[in-house]
Chains A and B, each alone.
Chain A
Amino acid sequence: AQSVTQLDSQVPVFEEAPVELRCNYSSSVSVYLFWYVQYPNQGLQLLLKYLSGSTLVKGINGFEAEFNKSQTSFHLRKPSVHISDTAEYFCAVSEPNFGNEKLTFGTGTRLTIIP
């Protein structure tokens, strides 16, 4: 069975500083990996995804993530954060299944930007 671990429940960062949100996964087969962002009182928005190919994935809002198969990690990074990045971030994994993929989410990391 697949699982996702987000070790940091809360991450405070000063504005314009870099940030890394950590994500580790467990699966017995190849996986698809995702990062979603959730703003208050909203649904989830996809930031980026890894399906195959290049291990460095670039997403929206200046975020990127690197798939590391040997360390089973998919950490999210941004070189310079803004106040508007304050939100909850979820890492998710699914196993390829011909369109029948279900997402397994981590517990989330609340990113707080300090002015």
Chain B
Amino acid sequence: KAGVTQTPRYLIKTRGQQVTLSCSPISGHRSVSWYQQTPGQGLQFLFEYFSETQRNKGNFPGRFSGRQFSNSRSEMNVSTLELGDSALYLCASSPGQVYNEQFFGPGTRLTVL
């Protein structure tokens, strides 16, 4: 099976812009979670989607949003970018029922100038 894929791998934006990141889960997985990784804050949970519904949400401002499509692919959007949004954004997928291991993608490195 192909692993979790994330596009693009690298992105450079300027303050005030918005950005959309994409995640394709492992085939058959219905749950997609997003995490932000920064040197200062470490790995922090953003949100999780299951069958197109947001099931869980972390403590991030409303500028961070996401969605999931019927094929389980997920997108994450950040509006009005700030310098502090520079980070590695990781996506993880799992089957999503009872406990399942989360499989991580390689991440998207976002740099905000």
| Interface, chain A (partner B; CB < 8 A) | 32, 36, 41-46, 49, 51, 90, 92, 96, 98-108
Tell me the bound Cα distance from A42 to B105 in angstroms: 8
Q: Shortest beta-carbon distance, B37 to chain A, in Å?
A: 9
Q: Shortest beta-carbon distance, A46 to chain B, in Å?
A: 6
Nearest CB to that of A92 among chain B residues? B43
**B102 CB within 8 Å of chain A:** yes
Q: Which of B43, B95, B96, B97 is the most central at the interface, judged by chain A CB atoms within 10 Å of its CB?
A: B43
* Interface 9-residue window, one of B50-58, B61-69, B76-84: B50-58
Contacts of A103 in B (CB 8 A): 33, 35, 43, 45, 102
Q: Shortest beta-carbon distance, A104 to chain B, in Å?
A: 7
Contacts of A43 in B (CB 8 A): 4, 90, 104-107
Interface SS of A by simple majority: loop
Question: In chain B between 23 and 71, which residues have their CB closer than 8 angstroms to a CB of chain A?
Answer: 31, 33, 35, 42-45, 48, 50, 55-56, 58
Name the one of A49, A90, A102, A106 contacting B45, with C-beta atoms under 8 angstroms.
A102
Chain B interface residue bracket vs A:
20 to 34
Tell me the bound Cα distance from A6 to B56 in angstroms: 25
Given contacts A100-B50, A103-B45, contact A32 B99 (CB under 8 A): yes
**Is there an interface contact between B31 and A99, defined as CB atoms closer than 8 Å?**
yes
**Is there an interface contact between B42 and A105, defined as CB atoms closer than 8 Å?**
yes
Q: Shortest beta-carbon distance, A96 to chain B, in Å?
A: 7
Nearest CB to that of B42 among chain A residues? A107
Given contacts A99-B31, A102-B33, A102-B48, contact A108 B42 (CB under 8 A): yes
Q: Shortest beta-carbon distance, A40 to chain B, in Å?
A: 11
Given contacts A51-B99, A99-B31, A102-B56, contact A44 B104 (CB under 8 A): yes
Tell me the bound Cα distance from A42 to B106 in angstroms: 5
